[in-house]
Structure 1
Amino acid sequence: MTDAALAYSSPVVMIGGAPPEMALIDRLCGMGLPLIAADGGADVLLQREYRPDAVIGDLDSVRDPEQLRALGVPLHHVAEQDTTDFEKCLARVEAPGVLATGFLGGRSDHTLATMSVLARFPAGRVIVLGGPDLIVHCPARIALDLPEGVRFSLYPMTRVRGHSSGLHWALQDVTLDPLGLIGTSNVTLGPVELEITEGTALLILPMDHLNTLRKALKW
């Protein structure tokens, strides 16, 4: 965390500049949480008449910085080009959790970069929302109170081993690998308990289980 970190006692909503899903943005902005815009995400918020609490990035995609300044929005310019605006934001925001949208869809390289950033930041801290999915860097241990028949994908970012209960295809005696067997499109039998004993994986769930996931992550 940098000296210029923005610290919040509550979770925050983070909006990126990918093609916006307006209904999802309205849902997240309606939660009453602080709004952080990643560069061009500021324009997405202004189009919906939401005022960001801060804008972070290299600011090359913000249409009218002066409009934001006139609204009293702090602009945090980060000039370096070695990281994405998503990573710039996560590195400068300190909060119990982050609900992020606007970082999937659009260009495939941007989506892959988002997955890479998500895997490198602390497990369970950030939920990325987009399309039909919720994506989180899976903690080493997690218990989810899910009903039977829910799509449950565990995508390995490295070699992954672990244990599970409540899944149709259990993890016991299985090695997941991004260049080998991957754990997509598993199905729940009911509540799930998962322990990852080796490696890093992304957990992908349907969008309508956001509250269950947040409860499991305790934020």
Structure 2
Amino acid sequence: MSKAIVYSSDPITLLGGGQASAEDLAEALTLAPKLVAVDGGLVTAQLAGSLPDAVIGDMDSAPPEALALVPDARQHRISEQQSTDFDKALRHVDAPVVVGAGFCGGRMDHQLAAFHTLLVHADRPCVLLCGAEVILLAPPKLSLEMEIGETVSLFPLLRVTGQSSGLEWPIDDLVFDPARFIGTSNRSMGGIDLSFDAPGMLLIMPRRYLRPLVAHFVQGGVRWPAREGQ
């Protein structure tokens, strides 16, 4: 397992260099007060008047003038090019859950790479702010109070099976596979309970559920174990 650069017993905010507003950052920091800028996310943080607790990445998108305002002890350069900066940051933070802003919107390849990172580091819960939605890798079990008729989309990155209650279209006995069967545009019938047999399901729902999703992990919600070799 990668050695943590930043540790917190509270949630951590990761701020990337993609589309993220000052309002996105402010909302994330109300739930996850320790801020880690991911390479070019440093510029967004500084424009919003925030000084990150750490900057992690290969620093190819963080301008020298921006880095000059950050103490050297808070700069953590990871030069290898086999992973994205989001991957570098997520694997080097240790927290109950991470709130990610600035990893959606903009270039689609960057967004797809972010979803890949969620899967690779399934043991490190992370909820991404993506416009009007939040996206996370579904944990082994999740119970959530929801309003009737809210969108609950399930998109498999791998072959996954699961069980549900509280969904308009139950997922019991279904085999999800990105090349065969997906579960987008399901709807809640009130409170939902979901469980999955393996990490690999993206969960997409309205942004208003950011706070209860963060609370799930802060309150000790079950999470996936680390993969061998991580």
- The question of a shared fold, defined as TM-score above 0.5 by the shorter chain, is answered with yes
Letter in 1 for 2:21: E
User: How is 1:71-150 mapped onto 2 (pairs within 5 angstroms)?
Assistant: 74-123=74-123, 125-150=125-150
Deviation of residue 162 (structure 1)?
1.3
Alpha-carbon distance between aligned partners in 2 of 1:190 and 1:20, rounded to the nearest angstrom? 31
Give the alignment's TM-score, normalised by structure 1: 0.93
Structure 1 match to 2:156 = 156
CA shift, 1:211, in A, is: 1.7
**How far did residue 4 of structure 1 move?**
5.3
CA displacement, residues 88-133 of structure 1 (integer Å, 9 cap, x when unaligned): 0011111111000101111010000000001121257111111111
Structure 1 residues 61 and 149 mapped into 2: Cα distance closer, same or farther (>3 Å)? Answer: same
**CA distance in structure 2 between the aligned counterparts of 1:183 and 1:212, rounded to whole angstroms:** 22
Give the aligned partner of residue 183 of structure 2. Answer: 183
Residue-by-residue CA offset, 1:71-103 (whole Å, 9 max, x unaligned): x66100000000000000011111111000101
SS in 2 for 1:162: strand
Between the aligned residues of both structures, percent identity stands at 35
> Are 1:56 and 1:75, in contact at CA under 8 Å, matched by a contact in 2?
yes
Q: Scaled by the length of structure 2, what TM-score is found?
A: 0.88
2:17 is aligned to 17
Contact 1:155/1:203 (<8 A) preserved: yes
CA distance in 1, matches of 2:192, 2:114: 26
Whole-angstrom distance in 1 between the partners of 2:121 and 2:197: 18
Q: Which amino acid aligns with 2:139?
A: P
Amino acid at match of 2:62: V
CA distance in structure 2 between the partners assigned to 1:10 and 1:152 by the alignment: 27
**What is the alpha-carbon distance in structure 2 between the residues aligned to residue 105 and residue 209 of structure 1?**
19
Over 3 Å counting, the alpha-carbon distance change for 1:59 and 1:124 in structure 2 is closer
Give the superposition deviation at 1:68.
1.9
Which structure 1 segments of 5+ residues have no match? none
Partner of residue 70, structure 2: 68
Deviation at 1:31, TM superposition (A): 4.5
- For 2:29 and 2:15, the matched residues in 1 are separated by 10
- More divergent stretch after superposition (75-84 vs 19-28): 19-28
Residue 214 of structure 1 and its aligned partner are, at CA, apart by 2.1
Cα distance in 1 for partners of 2:73, 2:51 equals 8
Residues matched between the structures, number: 217
Partner in structure 1 of residue 38 of structure 2: 38
Q: 1:121 to 1:4 in 2, by over 3 A?
A: closer
2:205 matches 1:205? yes
Question: Quick one: distance in 2 between partners of 1:7 and 1:214?
Answer: 17
Q: Distance in 2 between matches of 1:184 and 1:176?
A: 11
For residues 123 and 216 of structure 1, what CA distance do their matches in structure 2 show? 14
Contact 1:53 1:73 in 2 (8 A): no
User: CA offsets per residue over residues 147-173 of structure 1, 9 Å max, x none?
Assistant: 211100111011111111100110012
Aligned to 1:7: 7
163-172 or 120-129, which deviates more: 120-129
Residue matched to 1:169? 169
The amino acid across from 1:20 in the alignment is: A
